[in-house]
Homo-oligomer: A and B are copies of this chain.
Amino acid sequence: MIKVSVVGAKGRMGSHVVDAVNNAADTELALALDAGDDLTQITPGNTDVVVEFTVPSVSLDNVLALVAQGVDVVVGTTGWTDEKLDQVRAALAAAPREGQSVFIAPNFAISAVLADYFAKVAAPYFESAEVIELHHPNKVDAPSGTAFHTAQGIAAARKAAGLGPVPDATETDGGSRGQVVDGIHVHAVRLRGLNAHEEALFGNDGEQLTIRADSFDRISFMPGVLLAVRKVSTGAYPGVTVGLDNFLDL
Q: Is the CB of A142 within 8 A of B176?
A: yes
From A190, which residue of chain B is reached at the shortest CB distance?
B168
Chain B residues in 8 Å Cβ range of A139: 169-170
Q: Is the CB of B179 within 8 A of A174?
A: yes
In the bound assembly, the distance between CA atoms of A249 and B237 in angstroms comes to 27
Chain B residues in 8 Å Cβ range of A180: 175
A178 CB to closest chain B CB (Å) equals 5
* A3 sits at the interface (CB 8 A): no
Chain B residues in 8 Å Cβ range of A202: 111, 191
Q: Is the CB of B205 within 8 A of A209?
A: no
In the bound assembly, the distance between CA atoms of A208 and B219 in angstroms comes to 12
Chain B residues in 8 Å Cβ range of A138: 167, 169
Residues 16-34 of A, flagged 1 when their CB comes within 8 A of B and 0 if not, give 0000000000000000000
Looking at chain A, what size class is its interface with the partner chain? Answer: 35 or more
Q: Is the CB of B214 within 8 A of A204?
A: no
* A109 sits at the interface (CB 8 A): yes
Chain B residues in 8 Å Cβ range of A249: 121, 124
Q: Is the CB of A172 within 8 A of B142?
A: yes
* A67 sits at the interface (CB 8 A): no
Q: Is the CB of A207 within 8 A of B193?
A: yes
Of A128, A147, A215, most buried by chain B (CB within 10 Å of CB) is: A128
Contact A193 to B220, CB < 8 A, known contacts A137-B166, A209-B114, A212-B210: yes
Q: Is the CB of B214 within 8 A of A210?
A: yes
Q: Is the CB of A172 within 8 A of B110?
A: no
Within 121-179 of A, Cβ neighbours of B (below 8 Å) are at 121-122, 124-130, 132-134, 137-143, 147, 166-179
Chain B residues in 8 Å Cβ range of A213: 207-210
What are the 8 closest A-B residue pairs judged by CB atoms, nearest first? Answer: A206-B220, A207-B220, A206-B217, A191-B203, A193-B203, A176-B188, A175-B179, A176-B179
